[in-house]
Amino acid sequence: MRLRGFGWRHAGRRAWAVRGVDLRVRRGERVLLLGPSGAGKSTLLAALAGLLPEDSGEQEGTIEIDGRPPAETRERVGIVFQDPQSQLVMARSGDDVAFGLENRGVPAAQIWPRVDEALHRVGFPYHRDRPTAALSGGEQQRLALAGVLALRPDLLLLDEPTANLDPAGADLVRAAISRAVDGDTTLILVEHRVADALALVDRVVVLDAGGGVRVDGPPEAVFAAHGDALAADGVWVPGRQIPPRRATTGPGEVLLTADRLGQPPRLAATDLAVRAGAALAVLGPNGAGKSTLAVLLGGLLKPGTGRLVASADLAGADARTPPHRWRAPALARRIGSVFQDPEHQFVTGTVYDELALGPRRTGATEPAVRRRVDELLHRLRLDRLAGANPYTLSGGEARRLSVATALATAPRLLICDEPTFGQDRRTWRELVDLFAELRDAGHALVAVTHDAEFVAALADQTLTLTRHPAPEPPPSTTPAAGSTAGQPTDAWPSAAQPEAAGSPETLPPPAFPPAGYR
Amino acid sequence: MIDLEPVARPDAPLARRNPVAKLAAALLFAVPLLATLDPVAPAIAIAIELAVLPLFGVRYRVLFRRAWPLLAAAGGVLVTLVLFAADRSGRVLLDAGPVVVTSTVLLTALGLVLRLFAVALPGVIVFATTDPTDLADALVQNARAPARFAIGALAAFRLLPLLGQEWQTIVMARRARGVEAGRNPVAKLRLFVSTAFTLLVGAIRRGTRLAVAMDARGFDAGVPRTVARRQHFGAADWLLVVAATALAVAALGVSVALGTFRPLIG
Cβ-defined contact of B225 to A105 (cutoff 8 Å): yes
Q: Are residues B108 and B150 in the same domain?
A: no
Confidence band (pLDDT; 50, 70, 90) for B261?
confident
pLDDT band at A415; cut points 50, 70, 90: very high
Tens digits of residue pLDDT in A105-129: 999 999 999 999 999 988 899 999 9
How many beta-carbon pairs under 8 angstroms link A with B? Answer: 157
- Minimal Cβ distance to B223: which of A105, A148, A346: A105
| Mutation target vs A (from B2, B140, B175, B177; most A CBs, 10 A cutoff) | B177
A207 within 8 A of A486, measured Cβ to Cβ: no
B24 assigned to some structural domain: yes
pLDDT, greater one: A374 or A423: A374
- Contact list in B for residue A78 (CB cut-off 8 A) is 216-217
Q: How confident is the model over A431-478, as pLDDT tens digits?
A: 899 999 999 989 999 999 988 889 999 999 999 998 754 444 433 333
CB contacts of B154 in chain A (<8 Å) are 89-91
Structure confidence at residue A396 as a pLDDT band (50, 70, 90): confident
Total tally of structural domains belonging to chain B: 2
In this structure, the answer to whether residues B124 and B251 fall within a common structural domain is yes
Whether B33 maps to a domain, the answer reads yes
Instruction: Answer yes or no: is B226 within a domain.
Output: no
Predicted confidence at residue B7, as pLDDT, reads 65
Domains delineated in chain A: 2-232 (3.40.50.300), 254-350+410-506 (3.40.50.300)
Residue-range definition of the domain harbouring residue B45 = 19-137+234-258
My answer on whether B163 and B32 are in the same domain is no
Q: What percent of chain A has pLDDT over 90?
A: 40
Same structural domain, B103 and B122? yes
- The phi, psi pair for B69, rounded to 5°, reads -60, -30
Chain B positions touching A85 (Cβ under 8 A) are: 159, 162, 206
Report yes or no on B9 lying in a domain.
no
Q: Is residue B263 part of a domain?
A: no
Chain B residues in contact with A99 (beta carbon < 8 A): 151, 214, 217, 219
Dump pLDDT digits (tens) for B142-154: 999 998 899 999 9
Q: ipTM for the complex? A: 0.79
- Do B164 and B121 share a structural domain? no
Residue A98 has pLDDT above 80, yes or no: yes
Tell me whether residues A104 and B194 touch, CB distance under 8 A.
no
Query: What percentage of chain A exceeds 70 in pLDDT?
Result: 90
Contact criterion met (CB < 8 Å) for B176 and A327: no
Smallest CA-to-CA distance from B264 within B28, B102, B41 is with B41
User: Is the same domain home to B85 and B189?
Assistant: no
- Chain B: closest CA distance from residue A90 (Å): 6
Task: Indicate the pTM of the whole model.
Answer: 0.80
Please tell me whether residues B132 and B246 are part of one structural domain: yes
Average pLDDT over residues B206-227: 89
Which residue of chain B comes nearest to A359, CA vs CA? Answer: B178
- Please say if the pLDDT value at position B183 is more than 90: no
Position A75 pLDDT exceeds 80: yes
Mean pLDDT value of segment B78-84: 82
Q: Given this model, what pLDDT does residue A488 score?
A: 40
Tell me if B27 is assigned to some domain. yes
Q: Do A108 and B209 touch (CB under 8 A)?
A: no
Tell me, yes or no, whether B162 and B79 share the same domain. Answer: no
> Average model confidence (pLDDT) for chain A?
84
Say if residue B133 is in the same domain as residue B151: no
pLDDT at A515: 38
**Residue A512, pLDDT above cutoff 60:** no
B79 in a structural domain: yes
Whether B176 sits inside 8 A of A331 (CB atoms) is yes
The answer to whether residue A57 scores a pLDDT higher than 50 is yes
- B186 and B152 together in one domain: yes
Residue B70 lies in a domain: yes
- Domain shared by B127 and B54, yes or no: yes
Nearest-neighbour CA in chain B from A12: distance (Å):
17
Q: How far is B170 from chain A (nearest CA, A)?
A: 5
Interface contact flag, A133 B176, Cβ < 8 Å? no
Note whether B78 and B119 are same-domain residues. Answer: yes
CA atoms of A184 and A29, how far apart (whole Å): 8
Locate the chain A residue with the closest alpha carbon to B209.
A86
Whether residue A74 and residue B218 make contact (CB cut-off 8 A), yes or no, is yes
Q: What is the pLDDT of residues B6-16, one digit of tens each?
A: 566 777 888 88
